[in-house]
Structure 1
Amino acid sequence: MNENMFPQDPADALDWRALGEPARKHEADPVTMFRDIAVVVAHLPGDTLAITCAGGLARRAGGHLHILQMVAMPVEAPDAWALVPDPALIERFAKIRADAARQAREMQHRMSAMCVQGDVLTLEALCSAPPSMAAAAVRRSDLAVIGRPATTSSDAAIAHAYFAGVLLESGRPVLVVPEGTSARMPPRRAVVGWADTPEASRAAHDALPLLETAEAVDIVVVNAPKDSKDAVEESVEGLATHLRHHGVRAEVTLCSSGRSPVSRALLEQAYRKQAQLIVAGGYGHGRMREWAIGGTTRELFHESSIPVLFAH
């Protein structure tokens, strides 16, 4: 038989020296998991930094940035002449839309300057709640980013309403970027607040693309119950092992908050570790309970000076 009848490509030849050696892991950037990033803009202080943070992640991931410009349209109070359009309101609508179009062009130019592909979507909320509209739009993204103002309580309350709506109604993780923060993204160091709950588990999983790139990750358990300490340790060690299987350099810290809130202890650990990101489950006790008596989610949103990634 002619030895050239079935020619073999040298590249297909089996390298016997490679037998027994572990396969080389494909070194891909984990951040590329965030192919579509949405940033919610309500024209509040902190929006610019949120866009910059989201744009940096989108550029590194080679993905797309979707800026959701929220516009709350004024609603006319009902009266005897409600069927007759108010000319003043029509003029006001026209001005609001003109301003939104101008701001959309400015944000599009900003994306181009950051070398990020993406678009600006203007959502007019007339008969629908703006946070619910934002949540519906975010569902088509991998990650939502929201800025948190540090100026007035009224601005922070508006931002918190968007945050709560998106977190509870979109099914997507939400990265909150405080106004004026100097933390970089992706982070070099991160803290994961852990409790054996579905919300904390989802947050740790959703944050994996950021945790895998970090130099060090600390899993922090605050106020572990003494009567179930063994179960808590088993749970947190299980999480640490899971993260290590993904290449995360994870360590465990157990601490007590004393008479302080859990959020304060978690923030102190983050500052002590020089973390640039906190990962936490959101609204594990329900939004209405936290609205009435406070809670870790609300306190982390308002008090953290570094970005926090929440999941519900």
Structure 2
Amino acid sequence: MNENMFPQNPDDALDWHTLGEPARKHEADPLTRFRDIAVVVAHLPGDTLAITCAGGLARRAGGHLHVLQMLAMPVEAPDAWALVPDPALVERYAELRAKAARQARDMQHRLSAMCVQGDVLTLEALCSAPPAMAAAAARRADLAVIGRPATSPSDASIAHAYFAGVLLESGRPVLVVPEGTSARMPPRRAVVGWSDTPEATRAAHDALPLLESAEAVDIVVVNAPKEPVEAVEQSVEGLLTHLRHHGVRTELTLCSSGRSPVSRMLLEQAHRKQAQLIVVGGYGHGRMREWALGGTTRELFHDSPIPVLFSH
């Protein structure tokens, strides 16, 4: 054994200047952990950009893209005297299925043009709610992606129903891609909205492949307790240390929203940092309460001009 393999002076064995720095990033691309990505397509404005964003991530990860084409089938009104299905409705079903088959072929050709491995799964929602079917299919993926229409409130409402269903019932993180955004993925800069809750913890962990690929990540704590800055920093030190162990370069920002919604503070911070992604926990106060009173999840879904990754 070569005795020179080991330094005689302990000071030579460690670079004391690097102990406080983030761990070196793994040689493998962190995005390869997204081996299966599902994108929900309900034929709404914003679907095209969602497919582009999801396809770009799948190509970068060398993974597989599952396009979940939702087909909401009309339901026949109950008729006690009807012995056979309405012929007009049967014909309508055939037309919808034929159209869906054509659209599936078009999307499959698009995946090939993007050099993305993937498939198109058409889900007929006849007896089940479409969002529940999308959630069940998304459970087989590492990440779900949904587009958000920007101009039509009715289309945005439909997209929100799919988003809420997938977020609450799939157990998967959901990346919402607003129509009209550049959807740069992975992001160069990201903002993580942090609170000491299971939802925020899950979101930070689920977003690790994206955060590890970013140049800088800003951890934002809104409405921190009225304590010295040192005490607040100590409360989030566990998160900062965890992220740094994964090679994430983090900054900490403490801010008070006053009378402004938390969502507005996060959006302002994302704009100030020129971030391309926001990461937050979703529906920490329950979906019905947020629907009735408003809340950070709903507001970020409708108002964010950049993609948002939610976890529940």
TM-score (norm 2): 0.92
Q: Which residue number corresponds to residue 300 of structure 1?
A: 300
Larger radius of gyration: 1
Q: Which residue number corresponds to residue 193 of structure 2?
A: 193
Alignment CA distance shift 1:76-1:189 (3 Å): same
Matches within 5 A, 1:161-200: 161-200=161-200
How far did residue 83 of structure 1 move? 3.4
Q: Which residue number corresponds to residue 78 of structure 2?
A: 78
Contact 2:33 2:61 in 1 (8 A): yes
Q: Which residue number corresponds to residue 234 of structure 1?
A: 234
Rounded to whole Å, the distance in 1 between the matches of 2:220 and 2:148 is: 24
How far did residue 147 of structure 1 move? 0.2
RMSD between superposed Cα atoms in Å: 1.7
Instruction: Please list every run of 5 or more consecutive structure 2 residues that lacks an aligned counterpart in the other structure.
Output: 8-12, 15-23
How far did residue 183 of structure 1 move? 3.5
Superimposed CA distance per residue, residues 90-131 of structure 1 (whole angstroms, 9 cap, x where no aligned partner): 010000000000000000000000000010000000000000
Rounded to whole Å, the distance in 2 between the matches of 1:128 and 1:17 is: 70
Q: Which residue identity does 1:281 align to in structure 2? A: G
How far did residue 182 of structure 1 move? 1.4
Give the 3-state SS of the residue equivalent to 2:92 in structure 1.
Answer: helix
TM-score (norm 1): 0.92
How far did residue 274 of structure 1 move? 0.2
Rounded to whole Å, the distance in 1 between the matches of 2:239 and 2:200 is: 10
Contact 1:177 1:306 in 2 (8 A): yes
Instruction: Please list every run of 5 or more consecutive structure 1 residues that lacks an aligned counterpart in the other structure.
Output: 1-13
Give the 3-state SS of the residue equivalent to 1:124 in structure 2.
Answer: strand
Tell me whether 1:159 sits opposite 2:159 in the alignment.
yes
Contact 1:237 1:252 in 2 (8 A): no
Q: Which residue number corresponds to residue 49 of structure 1?
A: 49
Give the 3-state SS of the residue equivalent to 1:51 in structure 2.
Answer: helix
Percent of aligned pairs with the same amino acid? 85
Q: Which residue identity does 1:142 align to in structure 2? A: D
Rounded to whole Å, the distance in 2 between the matches of 1:27 and 1:187 is: 18
Alignment CA distance shift 1:86-1:275 (3 Å): same
Contact 2:222 2:262 in 1 (8 A): yes
Q: Which residue number corresponds to residue 3 of structure 1?
A: none
How far did residue 259 of structure 1 move? 1.3
Using the TM superposition, name which of 256-265 and 272-281 deviates more.
256-265
Rounded to whole Å, the distance in 1 between the matches of 2:2 and 2:26 is: 19
Q: Which residue number corresponds to residue 207 of structure 2?
A: 207
Rounded to whole Å, the distance in 1 between the matches of 2:109 and 2:166 is: 26
Alignment CA distance shift 1:15-1:253 (3 Å): farther
